[in-house]
Structures are given as structure tokens and as C-alpha cells.
A and B are shown apart, each in its own frame.
Chain A
Amino acid sequence: MATREPETGWHGEQSDVNHLRGRAFEATCLALTAFGLVSVLLLLLFVAKDAFRPLSADTGWLATYAATVLVPLAALGVYYYRLDEPAGEVAYVTSGLPVVGLLLTGGFAVLFIELLSVLEWFALLISLAVAGGLIVAHGRLRSKAALERLAVMFLAPILTVFGLPPTEFNWFVTDAAAALGLDFGLYYRVISLREAIMLLPFVPTDWAMLLLTLVLPVAGAAGWFVGQRRDSRRDSLAVVGITTVFAVLGVVAGPLLGIGTDIWLLLITFAILPLGVYVEGVVRRGEGVRGLAFPVIAVLGVAVGSVVTGVLGFAGPESWLDWGFLTSATSRTAADAGIYPAMVGSVMMIIVIVLTTFPVGVGAAIYLEEYAPSTGLMGKFVTLIEINIGNLAGVPSVVYGLLGLALFIRILNWPQGSVIVAGLAVGLLILPIVIISAQEAIRSVPDSLRQASYGMGATRWQTIRQVVLPEAIPGILTGTILALGRAIGETAPLLMIGAAASVRLAPNSFFDVASMMPRQIFTWSSELDPAFRHGVLAAGVVTLLAVLLVMNATAIVIRNRYQRTG
């Protein structure tokens, strides 16, 4: 009978313990991290210096602003950090909200200038609202007819937004109408509600339409939010009421102040309303009220600074990145060159990508993770597909550009260099990334949740919709927005699909020829005049980086938000 020797030692007892290797490894990792961060920081500083040229300003100008803005804000920052952390968060939000609000205002202003008239927006929203109403009404009246409701859900928006395509019957109707002297000029088809609204001889003025379809819905949502939080119907009505009063006041007073009524309404909706609700909440809670000083001092400091520099005659920096750069088209002279059309092009391209890639990518990910067979021959096939999606994520972007060229321009005959072609080509490029990140997010939902859901008698569809998706959404959104960040910086596919080197008009529709920011930056890199390569180029890069940072910040905010509530 074998007896086991009692174990006296432990594994590794014989070897010497030496901390040196571990320390050396740690130090190496630290050095590598620092190297990466510092070199990126230096690069950014270098580009920013070229873009803003702070050294071209008078010393007096720099000193004035340092004294009126930088020093007080830095002091406040230190104070918040050391003594009053909640106030720090309030300061952070109250400074950030107006910036995001102004960006949104700018975005909608561009939307109304380039893409849609206010009337078109109005007609579209009213039609969608009617479609929504139809669906809700159907649900109330015939709550058991699931299949019928599905049909209503698809048909109602189509009917209200698009109308019916030409058919024999419509020819007959239109001919009959024409015989009676009624000419709709409408291609022999049944028109939609949207088109009908646009044909109305009398429509509300622009500001009234904006008030109805933008200000009031947003104010209503804010009011609902406030009402929910405070459990008070009065407060939510107050939010809507005050917003409306301000909006109407602005419409009356705006022309006196030199602000267009449309811009005023957008400002109210996106900048003032959220800020007001937040500030009111802070004051009511009484926590971190001191944080409100931060934006006030910032604005005051800038105002005082501009007065002082104006009086003393200090010249500011001759920055390449200024208002003119953001609002004008590229030019042969560096001083006049701007990025506006390319920026609009990029944003519209991103819209195309979001509308196409997100549903396709997330849908594919849900199928692959939740429905696709994992065993047998079909399971092997699915594995093969998944491997190839991974491979597609690594295919060089030029190849996607060529694919876009062949598919959309040569076969489908869509206009070369147009927003839709660019969006679809770049969308294809990030589709595998979206699928993979969405798959990862769905996979990370614990199986126990699914089993519990099934155990309670839920169907697969109910489980996916109510258990899996809500858990996975933050991950899906984060992955998608990071992929969009890559999409907005892609240049090679744009070159392949013929995005032109110089485009001076912003696209008015998705089928218009457009330039995008990286394409425009590439053009500037090879201009004759060195001022383009050093100044304008840097300004373009900073703009692109700013857009990217805003997108990534959005990703982080969305993720945190869902994680908190979810």
C-alpha cells in the first residue's frame, strides 16, 4: 500500500523570487504608455498651433485673456476639485450643455439651409405624426389583430409620406381631374399627406411651423421628463408654457436683436431649454450651486477681455480656424478657404451610414447570436460566415472604395462622388465592425437572463426584445459610434468613388456630388501655396478631430446613461 508523502513545500519553492523582472516590465509598460500619449499630445499641440497660430497675437491680447478668462477659471477649477466636488460636476455640465446645444442648433440650421425647407420638415413631421396616430388608433380598436397591425405599421407611414405609385387607376383619376380643370401636376398617382401639405395654397409661416413641429414636441418631452421626476403635472406644464412664451417673445423681439426667428427657435429648443431645466434643478436641489459660477465667469471674462483688447487695440491671433473657415467653401487663396461644404458632406454621409449600416449590422448580429443554428452542417456554415465577417473587417479601405465604384457607380449608375455612394461605400467598410461589436455586446448578456426569461414563459422574440437588447444596447451603441468615428475619417474609398478634389457647393440632397472633410484635407495637402499645407490643412484637421471628439463623447454619454438606468 502506497503511502503518499506529505507535501512539505509549495510550487515554486525552489526558485528564487526576484522582483526585478516584474518591476522592469512595469516600468517598460509605463514608458510605452507615456511615449504613446506624449507623442499623440505633441502631434495635437503641433496641429493646433498651426491651426490657431496663438503666437501671432499681440502679447497684450494673450495677457488680457489670460487674466480675464484663464486665471479665474483655473482658480475656480482648483476650488471645485479640492473643496466642492458636486459644484465641479455642475460646472462641467453647465459649460458642456450650451456647447452641445449650440452644435445641435448649428446642425439643424444647416439642415434647414441645405437639405429641407421648413415647409418640407413640417409636412414630413405632420405626416409621420398622422401615421403614428393611425397605428395607435388601430391598436386601440383592434387590439387582437396582430398581423393586421403589422401591415398598418408599414403601410401607414408609406401612405402618409410617399403616396401610391402610378397605376392605371390613378391615370384615370388624374385624367378625370384634368378634364374638370383641376391640375395637380402630380405624375398620375395618389399623393401622400406630406405632398398634399406642401401643395396647400396657404401654409403657416416658418416660425409657426417650427414652433409646432420642433419647439413644442421638444418642450413637451422636457416637460414630461420634469413631471416624471417631480411627480408634478404643474411643473411639466410650466416647462412647456415658459418655453412657448420665450419662443414667441423671441419671434417678436428677435428681429430687433438681429437674430433670425428660425435661429432663435432652434436656440430655445436645443440650448436654452435644456440648460434652463438643468439649472432650475440644481437651484432647487441646492447642491453644487457654486458650480453655476463657472460658465458665468467664462462668459464675463470673454466679454471683459474683448472690451479691454478692443479699447487698448491689441490684435488677436490670425487664426486659420475661424468663423469664416467654418462657413465658406474652399478657395484658391488660402485666406478665403473654408471647409463648410465638406463638413455638410461628411455629416450627410454619416446620416446615410447610420440609417443603413446600423439596422443591417445590428440585425445581422442579432440573427447570428440568437437565431442562427450552432450545430450540424448549418452551424458549420454559420461559423464560416462569422469567420469571414472577421476577415472583411480587415480588408483595406481602398478595396471597399473599388467595390463602391463598381457596384454603385458602374452598375447602378448613381452619380459618382455623391453623398449616397460615399455613405454606402464607407458604410460597407464599417459594417463588419458594427456586426462584430454588436455580436460581442449581445454575447456578453448572461445566458442566465435568457433562461430566466424562457422560464417565465416568454417567447424568443419577447426575450430578445425585453431582456437581451436592453442589456446589450450600450455595448452596441458604443461599438457603432466608434465605428462611425472611423468612417468619418476614411479617405481612400472617397478617392475611389470619385469624390472631387474641390467642391464648392454643399450638397442639397443625398444624390448630390459632395466632398467630405478628409477628402478636402487631402486636396489641401497638395496645393501649390504652402499656406494651404501648413495653415488651412491644420485647421481642417482640427475641425475633423473636433467632430470626432464630439462623436466619441456622445458614445460615452450614451453608454453611461444606459448603464445607469439599465
Chain B
Amino acid sequence: MTDSPTGGLSRRRFLAGSGSLGALALAGCVQNTRRDGDGSDSSGSDGGSGSDGSSGQVIIKGSSTVFPISDTMAEEFMSEHDGVNVTVDSTGSGGGFKNWFCPGDSDINGASRPITDGEIEQCSSNNVEPVEFEIAGDALTVAVNNDADWVDCLTFEELRQIWSEGGVTNWSDVRDEWPDMEIERYGPASTSGTFDYFNENVVGEDTKHTTEYQPTEEDETIVQGIRDNKGGMGYFGFAYYKSNSEAVKAVEIKNGDGGECTPPSLANAKDGSYPLARPLYIYVAESALQDESVYEFVKFYLEQAETDVVQEIGYVPSSPEQRDKNLEKLAEIAG
């Protein structure tokens, strides 16, 4: 009998063991619900936004262009405030609004373009009131392969030709003296605010943005695509150019026939001479600002957005006036 594989295991022990295991499993959960529920039993069930009073949590989604700024702010803020968990994600401006911010699942949405009417509508149907803060400036950079020595400067009209639907296919179609080589286009996906900005300001309303390109949510992929293809071309935020300035070549941009060729740089974006300079925003849910952690974080964010921290990442910091305006707005809404 002792040879039997389970000679020592009785039904009693078996059930006791599995029962205890199950209890242990449940115990893990109960611990949490209690801790989660501490003092916020009423708000815990409705929003699901993670903005419950005691949890000390700030959830940021949205633009991949704003992501480096928000992530830096999160790290700095968390080193000063123990226990507040600021999580940052890069979903694209539109993706962030549509899937997370407006359904009430995130507190802050970074955006590289202003919020659209449709998005405001979606938000308000879920009782989410977005509050806009302009936090930095970016020089949207058009880049080509390092070996593409023929191109140094492009006009808006040429960019429009290249990036509109049914436009040119080869470099020689843009200017006759350029090589007969296919243009390999890399750009952000249509959920991206950078796409929206480019579509609206460069491609224009008359035509549509081409679909003949490699869309991606990761700016890194765009850089790689351009680097590896001689005929490659793409556009992204200046910060990504700044950290990859040896891998790709930035193209100067000329506005209209009268304008001058201006290289992308923070200085040129600041003084307005670079035609593709654009403001960056964060949108905060008004209800989330009632939460102390979110409020403190946003305040910190707006204050720090004026400092060199932003410049180091590769963006134009907001001006002191802009910062004061933002802080005033914040005080007004939260107060």
C-alpha cells in the first residue's frame, strides 16, 4: 500500500489543501479591494479613471511627440512626491482622445494639435470636460537620407506634391534635375497629432494625405526607414531629429515663393521664422483636477514647461507669459 503513488493523500487533505489554496488566492484580492477602497468607496466604482482621491495616481496618454516631455515631468515629479504614481503612455493624440481620455480612462492627454470638435463632443457625452494648456513648441522636421545630396530645401508646394494623394512617385517628378528614384515615404499613423498637423497645414484641405506611405506610431521607425533608404523621406517632431541628427538629414523649408529656406531649429521655431513650427498641448479632464495628485502634477508640469528641461529634450519651452496664463487658468478651474 505504501507503494501507491498517493498512499498518504486522503480526500480530506486534498480538499483542505485546495480549499486553503483558494482562500489564499481570494485573500490576495481582498487585500487590494480594501486598500483601494480606503476612503473612496463612492468614487471607485463610477469613473474607473484611476483618479480616485487616495490612490495618488495620474494617468497620461496621447501624443508620441509630447511623450518625452510628459515622461520627463513624471520622473521629476515622482522624485519629489513619494507615492504618487504618474504613468505615461504614447498612443498618438487622436488615439489618446478617442480611446482613453474621452471615455474617462485617463486624466491627461498630450496632443500635438488642438482638440477637434468631434473629440470635444465625444468627451462631453461622457461628462469629460477637457481643459487645454499650451506647454511647448515644436519644429516639425522633414528629413531625408544622408546621401540624398540633391535636396536641401523644399517649398510648401513641393511638400504638398509629395505627400498628397495621387501625387508624385519619383524624386524627378518634383524637380527635373533630381534623380529618377522612388520616394519612400515614412510618416506617423493617422491617429497621430503630427499627422493631423501635417495634413492640415501642408497637404491642405483641397487634397488628402497620401496613403502610399509607411505609417507608424513609433517615430523611431520613421528614422530607421529614412536612414536605410536612399530615396527615403519622412516627418516627425524635432526632438526625434535632435537625437538622430547623424542618422538622417533635415530639410530646410521655404514658405511660398517669397520666403527663405529656413532650417528646423528651436531658435527658428521660437521666433516664428520656421514655417512648420507648431504648439504642443496637454488636455486635462476638469473633473480629474479635483484630485490633489493630478492638480499638483499639472501645476508642476506647467511651471517646469518654461524651464530648460524642455529645451534639453528638444522642444521650445513655453514663454513666461504663457506659463503665467496657464497657471492662472489652472487656479481658476481648480479654485
A contacts, CB < 8 Å to B: 115-116, 120, 124, 128, 131-132, 135-136, 139, 149-150, 153-154, 156-158, 161-162, 194, 331-332, 351, 355-356, 359, 409-410, 413-417, 420, 465-466, 470-471, 498, 500-505, 508-513, 515, 525-530, 533, 565-566
Residue of B nearest to A471 (CB): B5
Is A510 a contact of B12 with CB atoms below 8 Å?
A: no
Is A511 a contact of B26 with CB atoms below 8 Å?
A: no
Is B71 a contact of A502 with CB atoms below 8 Å?
A: yes
CB-defined contacts of A356 to chain B, threshold 8 Å: 25
Asked if B42 is at the interface (CB within 8 A of a chain A CB), the reply is: no
Nearest-Cβ distance from residue A408 to partner chain B, whole angstroms: 10
CA distance A140 to B45 in the complex (A): 45
* Top 8 closest pairs, chain A to chain B, by CB: A157-B23, A509-B32, A500-B87, A470-B5, A413-B48, A528-B243, A500-B89, A355-B25
CB-defined contacts of A417 to chain B, threshold 8 Å: 59, 87
Give chain B interface residues in 41-66, CB to chain A under 8 Å: 45, 48, 50, 57, 59-61
Asked if B194 is at the interface (CB within 8 A of a chain A CB), the reply is: no
Q: Convert B150-167 into 0s and 1s, putting 1 for each residue whose CB lies closer than 8 angstroms to a CB of A.
A: 000000000000000000
Nearest-Cβ distance from residue B58 to partner chain A, whole angstroms: 10
Asked if B4 is at the interface (CB within 8 A of a chain A CB), the reply is: yes
Instruction: Kindly identify which residue among B24, B78, B89 contacts A501, using a CB–CB cutoff of 8 Å.
Output: B89
Is B50 a contact of A416 with CB atoms below 8 Å?
A: yes
CB-defined contacts of B90 to chain A, threshold 8 Å: 501, 526
Known: A149-B12, A416-B105, A530-B243. A132 touches B20 (CB 8 A): yes
Assuming A131-B20, A498-B61, A504-B86, what are 12 further A-B pairs, CB within 8 angstroms?
A: A128-B20, A128-B23, A132-B16, A135-B16, A157-B22, A158-B26, A355-B25, A413-B48, A500-B59, A500-B89, A501-B90, A502-B75
Residue of A nearest to B100 (CB): A498
CA distance A501 to B239 in the complex (A): 18
CA distance A500 to B11 in the complex (A): 45
CB-defined contacts of A158 to chain B, threshold 8 Å: 23, 26
Is A526 a contact of B219 with CB atoms below 8 Å?
A: yes
Is A161 a contact of B23 with CB atoms below 8 Å?
A: yes
Asked if B229 is at the interface (CB within 8 A of a chain A CB), the reply is: no
Nearest-Cβ distance from residue A350 to partner chain B, whole angstroms: 13
Give the residue among A149, A150, A502 with the most B Cβ atoms within 10 A.
A502
Is B31 a contact of A414 with CB atoms below 8 Å?
A: no
Nearest-Cβ distance from residue B13 to partner chain A, whole angstroms: 9
B contacts, CB < 8 Å to A: 4-6, 9, 11-12, 14-16, 19-20, 22-33, 35-36, 45, 48, 50, 57, 59-61, 67-68, 71-72, 74-75, 78, 83, 85-90, 100, 103, 105, 218-221, 239-240, 242-244, 313-314
Instruction: Kindly identify which residue among B14, B32, B45, B244 contacts A413, using a CB–CB cutoff of 8 Å.
Output: B45
Nearest-Cβ distance from residue B214 to partner chain A, whole angstroms: 15
Known: A465-B14, A504-B74, A566-B5. A529 touches B48 (CB 8 A): no
CA distance A116 to B85 in the complex (A): 19
CB-defined contacts of A513 to chain B, threshold 8 Å: 50, 57, 59, 85, 87
Known: A465-B14, A509-B32. A331 touches B243 (CB 8 A): no
8 contacts between A and B (CB under 8 A): A331-B75, A332-B71, A466-B4, A501-B71, A526-B218, A528-B242, A528-B314, A533-B220
CB-defined contacts of B35 to chain A, threshold 8 Å: 508-509
CB-defined contacts of A530 to chain B, threshold 8 Å: 243
Nearest-Cβ distance from residue B198 to partner chain A, whole angstroms: 20
Nearest-Cβ distance from residue A284 to partner chain B, whole angstroms: 24
Residue of B nearest to A410 (CB): B103
Is A509 a contact of B23 with CB atoms below 8 Å?
A: no
CA distance A157 to B20 in the complex (A): 7
Give the residue among B24, B45, B239, B314 with the most A Cβ atoms within 10 A.
B24
CA distance A527 to B244 in the complex (A): 11
CA distance A508 to B33 in the complex (A): 12
Give the residue among B14, B71, B78, B313 with the most A Cβ atoms within 10 A.
B71
Is A136 a contact of B16 with CB atoms below 8 Å?
A: yes
CA distance A504 to B77 in the complex (A): 11
Is A510 a contact of B20 with CB atoms below 8 Å?
A: no
Known: A413-B48, A470-B6, A503-B87. A526 touches B19 (CB 8 A): no
CB-defined contacts of A500 to chain B, threshold 8 Å: 59-60, 87-89
CA distance A349 to B207 in the complex (A): 48
Is A124 a contact of B27 with CB atoms below 8 Å?
A: yes
CA distance A355 to B283 in the complex (A): 39
CA distance A359 to B25 in the complex (A): 11
CB-defined contacts of A116 to chain B, threshold 8 Å: 31
CB-defined contacts of A136 to chain B, threshold 8 Å: 12, 16
Nearest-Cβ distance from residue A185 to partner chain B, whole angstroms: 12
Known: A153-B15, A470-B6. A510 touches B28 (CB 8 A): yes
CA distance A511 to B57 in the complex (A): 12
CB-defined contacts of A194 to chain B, threshold 8 Å: 27
CB-defined contacts of B83 to chain A, threshold 8 Å: 505
Nearest-Cβ distance from residue B307 to partner chain A, whole angstroms: 15
Is A153 a contact of B19 with CB atoms below 8 Å?
A: yes
Residue of B nearest to A508 (CB): B35
Is B218 a contact of A502 with CB atoms below 8 Å?
A: no
Residue of A nearest to B25 (CB): A355
Is A526 a contact of B6 with CB atoms below 8 Å?
A: no
CB-defined contacts of A128 to chain B, threshold 8 Å: 20, 23-24
CB-defined contacts of B14 to chain A, threshold 8 Å: 465
CA distance A413 to B100 in the complex (A): 13
Nearest-Cβ distance from residue B71 to partner chain A, whole angstroms: 5
Is B32 a contact of A504 with CB atoms below 8 Å?
A: no
Give the residue among A124, A158, A415 with the most B Cβ atoms within 10 A.
A415
CB-defined contacts of B88 to chain A, threshold 8 Å: 500-502
CB-defined contacts of A465 to chain B, threshold 8 Å: 6, 11, 14
Nearest-Cβ distance from residue A340 to partner chain B, whole angstroms: 14
Give the residue among B14, B25, B86, B87 with the most A Cβ atoms within 10 A.
B87
Nearest-Cβ distance from residue A243 to partner chain B, whole angstroms: 24
Nearest-Cβ distance from residue A505 to partner chain B, whole angstroms: 4
Residue of A nearest to B247 (CB): A530
CB-defined contacts of B23 to chain A, threshold 8 Å: 128, 131, 157-158, 161
Is A157 a contact of B32 with CB atoms below 8 Å?
A: no
CB-defined contacts of A511 to chain B, threshold 8 Å: 32-33, 36
Is B243 a contact of A529 with CB atoms below 8 Å?
A: yes
CB-defined contacts of B45 to chain A, threshold 8 Å: 413
Is A525 a contact of B89 with CB atoms below 8 Å?
A: no
Residue of A nearest to B246 (CB): A530
Residue of A nearest to B12 (CB): A139
Nearest-Cβ distance from residue B179 to partner chain A, whole angstroms: 30
Instruction: Kindly identify which residue among A414, A501, A505 contacts B67, using a CB–CB cutoff of 8 Å.
Output: A501
Known: A470-B6, A504-B86. A409 touches B105 (CB 8 A): yes
Residue of B nearest to A515 (CB): B87
Known: A465-B14, A565-B5. A509 touches B31 (CB 8 A): yes
Instruction: Kindly identify which residue among B9, B48, B75 contacts A332, using a CB–CB cutoff of 8 Å.
Output: B75
Is B29 a contact of A510 with CB atoms below 8 Å?
A: yes
Nearest-Cβ distance from residue B30 to partner chain A, whole angstroms: 6
CA distance A139 to B12 in the complex (A): 8
Residue of A nearest to B86 (CB): A504
Known: A504-B75, A505-B85, A508-B35. A157 touches B5 (CB 8 A): no
Instruction: Kindly identify which residue among B19, B59, B105, B220 contacts A157, using a CB–CB cutoff of 8 Å.
Output: B19
Instruction: Kindly identify which residue among A131, A156, A162 contacts B30, using a CB–CB cutoff of 8 Å.
Output: A162
Nearest-Cβ distance from residue B316 to partner chain A, whole angstroms: 16
CB-defined contacts of B68 to chain A, threshold 8 Å: 332, 528
Is B12 a contact of A135 with CB atoms below 8 Å?
A: yes
Residue of A nearest to B30 (CB): A162
CB-defined contacts of A527 to chain B, threshold 8 Å: 220
CA distance A509 to B20 in the complex (A): 20
CB-defined contacts of A509 to chain B, threshold 8 Å: 31-32, 35-36
Nearest-Cβ distance from residue A523 to partner chain B, whole angstroms: 8
CB-defined contacts of A413 to chain B, threshold 8 Å: 45, 48
Residue of B nearest to A341 (CB): B85
Nearest-Cβ distance from residue A493 to partner chain B, whole angstroms: 15
